[in-house]
Amino acid sequence: MSKPVTITLPDGKTLAFDGPTTGLQVAEKIGARLAKDALGVKVDGELRDLTAPITHDAKVSIVTYKGRDGTISTDALYLVRHSAAHIMAEAIQRVVPEAQLVYGPPLEDKFYYDIKFPDNRPLREGDFAKIEEEMKKIVAEDRKFTRYEQAREACMTRLASEGNKYKVDNAERAIKADPNAALSFYATGEPGKNFEDLCRGPHVPSTGRIGAIKVLSLASSFWHGDENSDRLTRVYGTAFATQAEMDAYFALKEEAAKRDHRVLGKQLHLFHIDEAVGQGLILWTPNGGIVRDQLQRFISEELVKQGYFQVFTPHIGRLELYKTSGHFPYYKESQFAPVIEREALEELSKSGCSCSEMMHRVEGVSARLAATINERTAKQTITPDRVLADDKLIEGFMLKPMNCPHHIKIFNSRAYSYRDLPIRLAEFGTVYRWEQSGELNGMTRVRGFTQDDAHLFCTEDQVAAEVLGCLSLVKIVLGTLNMNNYRVRVGLRDPDGKKYTGTAAQWDKAEAACRDAAKTLGVPFSEEPGEAAFYGPKIDFVVKDVIGREWQLGTVQVDYQLPVRFGLSYTGSDNKPHTPVMIHRAPFGSMERFTGVLIEHFAGAFPTWLSPEQVRVLPISEKTNDYAQKVAATLRAKGIRATVDDGNDRVQGKIKVAAEAKIPYMAIVGPRDAEQGMVSLRIRGVEKDAGAMPLATFADAIAAEVAERRAVLGVKP
């Protein structure tokens, strides 16, 4: 006799079964409609096949495409896409029978299948139409996904006989991960008759449940992501439960493409990247310059309110500075190469110094510096092999990859008492990092960028309040920009990790400070053990833009390490030296990335205060050019960025051009307006004449909107 099974549903109701049941039976018991719509089942939080046996009491929820609240279930899409990957794999094998399947998981909004194609028959985009045709056939056949398990020995023998080393490897890995796991296969239809794939599942009940399926693109990948391993072809596809949902997905993609800051940056003349200047190096053109300048002024104003001091530091620093901080040569792969002094270089080339010898000498540390650092860090931080005689050392400079060493030197340029702390040093500091060329992307991933950086030097007791202050600044700025949808990630130390500096007590305190500060923000936050830097915990900001994409912007990091390495101290109330704690913070990451994200967030239609051109005056004909100039002059006198389009076009043409430039306000002026001292307004986003208003009222209203940095256009006649 089998044991009775009690199923608890999401609403708390329970269903009793005499013995093992399945998700399908549960659904049938609830209602025929639900059974028909069911795609899978969640048993105690685990996603499973609808027909998988449920043998013990469990909390069960039936996965349908749309949840009770009408939103689309991510679990359903997971099932749909995972199943779609099998269908695509089968279709591809019909088109290219020699293709060896490797691995095909679902992703957030699509899926892929890594496949090894024979060298003489690679997959091309031209094959997509044929593959999609086959996929649609498979969907139309509405074949059941049938799961069966096979004994390990038989399974391995079978896979080996099929000659696909990748699947053999997958099976071996599955066994390694869980020695008790059963190896399962899924047949798209009947085992032994239809396409089968080694797969853990789960899947939708049958191929007909996939409403829309499409091959997206090709890319290359490596087996296990190892570039020394086999090169595979990654075929991307996507699938949805309905065609309407797929259409909406592509509409969103199109919307995202329209907002692409690289496209808008060109159209709106915001920035330029020039081959001759270099990859990943942003040239801020006049329009982009205005946006950046306005952002910086705004941030600076807030910093003054919060007691920061503005500092300025050069773009380079001596190698010794970075040897002290530990950034060189440890991170040399991601830095621009050092600038070696001319005389040293000439001497080296004369003496026939080899490249590796030269690098060794560039990276060398003097005995004095090595002794100092080793003493301060109380261990052999600088190993003896890096210590060189002074006449062997090669001096040079580095483009700064971060601002902290410079700011540390400013802190250390005078003596501080505990009464002086915290000291908050802020700088829009430009740094240079050697990002891999394949990673560069418009403004969001660059090689030279200006951080909205600051370093706070405080006592341990002040850490919590200072972290909180950093977060409140972020909240003010993001709120002003109407970016209220963001979350924070709190990076904590790995409980087992040994790489961390500082004491456990310090860490506990700092982590508590970060956690508490994050809580006060009133936004979602997650704790991520193991994500801390080796020198302290950190808080990352992840902002969601208006179309739902997430962007990692800046961080706040607590640092116990650098103050030690640089031997920083302040005098405590006990008249003894104490080591300060440092907080690094760049809440928006960089002006480049932040501006890039803002461009996409606003789709180029900036709030008035950020708009490069705030008002364009459009005279109806030459006859009102003079009045138009007067209008613009009046606005400019109020600090408003206004221009006149006195070209020979008709007003319709001028409106089109100004609208495409996404200018917030158009002041259209003809004889009527000139006589009465009015302007006829057209507001961005309102596709009609908004009516006339007196020039003086208009100027004051716009000036107020700008002064308050309002996020939405509010001037109306």
Partner RNA sequence: GCCGGCGUAGCUCAGUUUGGUAGAGCAUCGCUUUUGUAAAGCGAUGGUCGCAGGUUCGACUCCUGUCGCCGGCUCCA
Q: Is 298 in the site for RNA (CB under 7 A)?
A: no
- Cβ atoms of residues 430 and 315 within 8 Å: yes
Choose the stretch contacting RNA; rule: CB under 7 A; options: 32-40, 227-235, 240-248, 389-397: 227-235
Q: Are 570 and 580 spatial neighbours (Cβ–Cβ below 8 Å)?
A: yes
Q: How far is the CB of 67 from RNA (least distance, A)?
A: 28
Q: ∠ at Cα 180 (179, 181), nearest 5°?
A: 95
Q: For 125-148, b where at least 16 C-beta lie within 10 A, e where not — what string?
A: eebbeebbebbbebbeeebbbbbe
Q: Which positions from 441 through 470 interact with RNA, judged by CB under 7 A?
A: 441-442, 445
Selected binder of RNA within 279, 310, 484, 520 (CB under 7 A): 279
Least spacing, CB of residue 621 vs RNA, in Å: 3
Q: How far is the CB of 90 from RNA (least distance, A)?
A: 22
Q: In angstroms, what is the minimal distance from the CB of 337 to RNA?
A: 13
Residues 239 and 109 sit within 8 Å (Cβ to Cβ): no
Residue (209 or 684) nearer to RNA, CB: 684
Out of 222, 249, 416, 418, the only residue in the binding site for RNA (CB under 7 A) is 222
584 catalytic residue (yes or no): yes
**Residue among 243, 310, 621, 697 that touches RNA (CB under 7 A):** 621
- Residue 333 neighbours by CB under 8 Å, 6+ apart: 434
Catalytic-role residue among 407, 455, 489, 585: 455
Residue 172 or 660 having the CB closest to RNA: 660
Q: Does 14 bind RNA (CB under 7 A)?
A: no
Q: Which is nearer to RNA, 476 or 547 (CB)?
A: 547
Interface with RNA (CB under 7 A), residue from 48, 86, 323, 327:
327
- CA separation for the pair 270, 479 (Å, rounded): 23
Q: Among 249, 298, 331, 416, which residue sits at the site for RNA (rule: CB under 7 A)? A: 331
Catalytic residue among 49, 453, 540, 559: 453
> Is residue 227 classed exposed, middle or buried when 0-12, 13-18 and 19+ CB atoms within 10 A define those classes?
exposed
Is 455 an annotated catalytic residue?
Answer: yes
Q: Tell me whether residue 81 or residue 209 sits nearer to RNA (CB atom).
A: 81
Q: Using N-to-C axis directions, what is the helix angle for 504-520 and 463-480, rounded to 10°?
A: 30
From candidates 29, 66, 234, 710, binder to RNA by CB under 7 A: 234
Segment lying near RNA (by CB under 7 A), choices 34-42, 50-58, 475-483, 641-649? 641-649
Q: Does 672 bind RNA (CB under 7 A)?
A: yes
**Closer by beta carbon to RNA, 354 or else 437:** 437
For RNA, give the closer residue by CB, 98 or 149: 98
User: According to the binding rule CB under 7 A, does residue 231 interact with RNA?
Assistant: yes
Q: How far is CA 171 from CA 52, 92, 200, in A?
A: 21, 22, 10
| Cα dist from 381 to 386, 494, 563, whole Å | 10, 22, 15
- Return the residue matching tokens 């998988």: 52
What is the size of the binding site for RNA (CB under 7 A)? 66
* Member of 397, 673, 695, 711 binding RNA (CB under 7 A): 673
Angle between helices 74-95 and 128-141 (to 10 degrees): 120
Is 487:523 a contact under the CB 8 Å cutoff? Answer: yes
| Minimum distance from residue 623 beta carbon to RNA (Å) | 5
Catalytic residue, candidates 584, 585, 654, 684 = 584
Within its chain, how far is the Cα of 617 from the centroid?
39
Nearer to RNA, 383 or 436 (CB): 436
- Judged by DSSP in three states, 114 sits in strand
Q: How far is the CB of 71 from RNA (least distance, A)?
A: 25
414 near RNA, judged by CB under 7 A: no
Residue 335 engages RNA in binding (rule: CB under 7 A) = yes
Measured CA to CA in angstroms, residue 623 lies from 619, 644, 717 at distances of 8, 14, 24
For this structure, is 538 an active site residue?
A: yes
> Which is it for the CA torsion 127, 133, 134, 135, positive or negative?
positive
Percentages helix, strand, coil for the chain, rounded to the nearest 5?
40, 25, 35
Catalytic status, residue 197: no
Which residue stretch of 61-69, 225-233, 309-317, 603-611 sits at the interface with RNA (rule: CB under 7 A)? 225-233
Q: Which stretch binds RNA (CB under 7 A): 41-49, 200-208, 328-336, 594-602?
A: 328-336
Contacts (CB under 7 A) with RNA, residues 644-663? 647-653, 655-657, 659-660
Q: Annotated catalytic residue: which of 167, 209, 538, 565?
A: 538
CB of 161 to RNA, least distance (A): 30
CA 261 to chain CA centroid, nearest Å: 15
Distance of alpha carbon 41 from alpha carbon 649, whole angstroms:
64
Q: Decide: is 386 part of the binding site for RNA (CB under 7 A).
A: no
> Which range, of 81-89, 265-273, 361-369, 597-605, touches RNA by CB under 7 A?
265-273
108 scored as a contact of RNA (CB under 7 A):
no
Helices (DSSP H) in 538-669: which residue ranges?
A: 561-565, 591-602, 625-637, 651-660
Q: Directed axis angle between helix 152-162 and helix 165-177, to 10°?
A: 160
Residue 619, strand partner residues: 669
615 forms part of the interface with RNA (CB under 7 A)? no
Listed residue (570, 564, 568) closest to 416, CA to CA: 570
Interaction of residue 666 with RNA, rule CB under 7 A: yes
Q: Are 77 and 116 in contact (CB under 8 A)?
A: no
Residues numbered 503-562 forming contacts with RNA, rule: CB under 7 A: 533, 557
Closest distance between RNA and the C-beta of residue 62, in Å? 32
Nearer to RNA, 441 or 480 (CB): 441
The answer to whether 283 contacts RNA (rule: CB under 7 A) is: no
451 as an active site residue: the answer is yes
| Residue bearing tokens 């060109």 | 266
Cis peptide before 422 (omega within 30 of 0): yes
433 is catalytic: yes
How far is Cα 260 from Cα 266, in angstroms, rounded to an integer? 10
Binding site for RNA (CB under 7 A): 217-222, 225, 227, 231, 234, 262, 266-267, 273, 275, 278-280, 327, 331, 334-335, 401-402, 433-442, 445, 533, 557, 620-623, 647-653, 655-657, 659-660, 666, 668-673, 680, 682, 687-689, 692
Active site residues: 404, 433, 451, 453, 455, 538, 584
